[in-house]
Copies of this chain bind each other. A is one copy, B any other.
Amino acid sequence: MTEPIDSAHSSGSPIAPTPEPPYYAVIFTSTRSDGDRGYGQMASRMVQLAREQPGFLGVESARGSDGLGITVSYWQSEEAIARWKAHVDHAQAQALGKRTWYTEYHVRVAKVERAYGHSPGV
């Protein structure tokens, strides 16, 4: 149930170095069907492709031992999210995901209004 989604950023931390709000978050939660069936490879490819899209800010991803996966991608605008959703390769991956890889999923599009954190040395 784990997959090699590379959510590490150039800072070396898996926490996305997003700018000051406002910006947008796409919260994708899912449960997987059994077996990989090409999922790991496609997930890595989609993260790579997302990174190349205009307006992409970062991504964080985790799948726990109970099978629940949470991937949060961050975007500059709703337009950037709409473009990424409609990207032809991504649309194909979404269709495959619905048919093959996910038993259940939920997508929430949210506007990040404030943020704070704690890093080593801060």
Q: Which residues in A have some Cβ–Cβ distance to B below 8 Å?
A: 2, 7-8, 13-16, 18, 21, 25, 27, 29-31, 60-70, 72, 98, 102-120
Q: What residue of chain B has the Cβ atom nearest to residue A106's Cβ? A: B117
Q: Which residues in B have their C-beta under 8 angstroms from that of A120?
A: 103-104
| Contact A109:B105 (CB < 8 A) given known A62-B70, A67-B14 | no
Report copies per complex. Answer: 2
- Bound together, the chains give a CA A86 to CA B107 distance in angstroms of 29
CA distance A21 to B8 in the complex (A): 31
Q: Is the CB of A60 within 8 A of B65?
A: no
Task: Name A69's closest neighbour in chain B (CB-CB).
Answer: B62
B62 touches A64 (CB 8 A): yes
Nearest B residue to A111 via CB reads: B111
Contact of A72 among B30, B70, B118 (CB under 8 A): B70
Nearest Cβ on chain B to A66's Cβ, whole angstroms = 6
Residue ID in chain B nearest A25 by CB atoms:
B110
In the assembled complex, which residues on chain B have CB atoms less than 8 Å from the CB atom of A109?
A: 112-115
**Cβ of A13 and Cβ of B118 under 8 Å apart?**
no
A15 vs B2: C-alpha distance when bound (angstroms)? 17
